[in-house]
Amino acid sequence: MLKSIAKAALTAIFALAFCFAAACGRAAPEEPSAPSPKETEGALVFAVVKPNKWITDAVEEYNSSSPGRPIELLRFNYLRELADAVEAGLEPDMYFSALEGGMYPKSGETLWDISADLSEYLTSPLAGNLRSAMTVEGELRFVPFDFRVDGLCWRLGGELPQGMDEAALAAEEAGARLFPGVWSRDALASYWLYPYVCAADGAAREELLGAIYSHTEDGVEGQNLAFGFFSLDSGDNFSLGALLNGGAGFAPGVPGSATAGSYVPEHVIGICSGCADPGAAWDFLSIFLGGDMQALAYGLPATASGFEARLEAAAERPSTLPRAVELAREIVEGTSQFDSYSLAGRPAGWYVEYINSPERLESKGLSA
């Protein structure tokens, strides 16, 4: 009854928005399909953000097999729309959603809050360290369907220096800055270097924090830099071609950190904590981790087998650089961090200390 009431209320909200737009003389924006009362008794509500035809086909094919729990598909254009519907009382049983945001995917916290732990259900090995990176306090609340890896890389040739202090000296000798002058210290701490500091400890962490505190922002672009940004994705040569052909080459990661970059899930699947039948929901959702579905992934396939299949397919293309395939595997296997300070929105202790440090407060004209 609660689901039906919430769905009816949300339908009214969408209808009111349409009428208001028409009254102002503008065409109403395209609206997502409004939740409606279940058409099939015992159906599981499957909320999909940014749906594709192949997802609709998967639902129809599954339902045609006469499962004990048929699937009712609800479509949303954005994760924020799904979140608003949940706050209004909608209780989906499961979801397939694009994640919105970068290394601060606040919208992902909404999914975290409504999701159940999938640790006991997931049996398919994931690529690299995806599973452990996305497990927080023993819980794996959503599973990636596809992903990319974002990170920093050493651009001055050769292997990574042994530490950040050594990197700073090498950069000075090469007439280069460690990081762009348009980046702020807070941006380094909360975004660019966050996963690397989390994956470092001891003296290595202190050197990384020292690099943050000594960084100066000058607003100048186009400088000679020791570290640059990379994004490993499903593009040609995994989007590494320009870096590999750049002369000196590059090494992913930063000195002293145990991660090459950070995983950024493009789409995730999950079961809501109030799901009427989690076992039946996973019976359907596990389809998305099969070989046929993983081959359709826009980003890098999240399963180990799907990722390897993508590497093999890339290696067969004449345009692919051999080193790109090797490096893609090295980066994925060498990454240990998820792209947020925490799936549940709780920052690491070192970051809290940085935010409240006398050095930072003084630089901003604040008192401790």
**CA–CA gap between residue 102 and residue 114 (Å, rounded):** 21
Q: What is the pLDDT of residue 98?
A: 86
Q: What is the pLDDT of residue 21?
A: 39
Q: Does the pLDDT of residue 104 top 70, yes or no?
A: no
- List, for residues 43-87, the tens digit of each pLDDT value: 999 999 987 899 999 999 999 999 999 999 999 998 889 988 988
CB 271 within 8 A of CB 278: yes
Residue 107 binned pLDDT confidence (cut-offs 50, 70, 90): low
Q: How far apart are the first and last CA of the chain?
A: 53
Q: What is the pLDDT of residue 249?
A: 66
Q: What is the pLDDT of residue 94?
A: 98
What integer best gives the mean pLDDT of the chain? 85
- List, for residues 182-199, the tens digit of each pLDDT value: 999 999 999 899 999 999
CB 107 within 8 A of CB 50: no
- More confident: 251 or 110: 251
How is residue 171 written in tokens?
A: 């950069």
Q: What is the pLDDT of residue 66?
A: 93
- More confident: 116 or 84: 116
Q: What is the pLDDT of residue 368?
A: 59
- More confident: 344 or 185: 185
The stretch 27-43 carries a mean pLDDT of 51
The stretch 123-134 carries a mean pLDDT of 96
**CA–CA gap between residue 12 and residue 295 (Å, rounded):** 39
Q: What is the pLDDT of residue 282?
A: 98
Least confident of 39-43, 62-66, 264-268: 39-43
- More confident: 303 or 221: 303
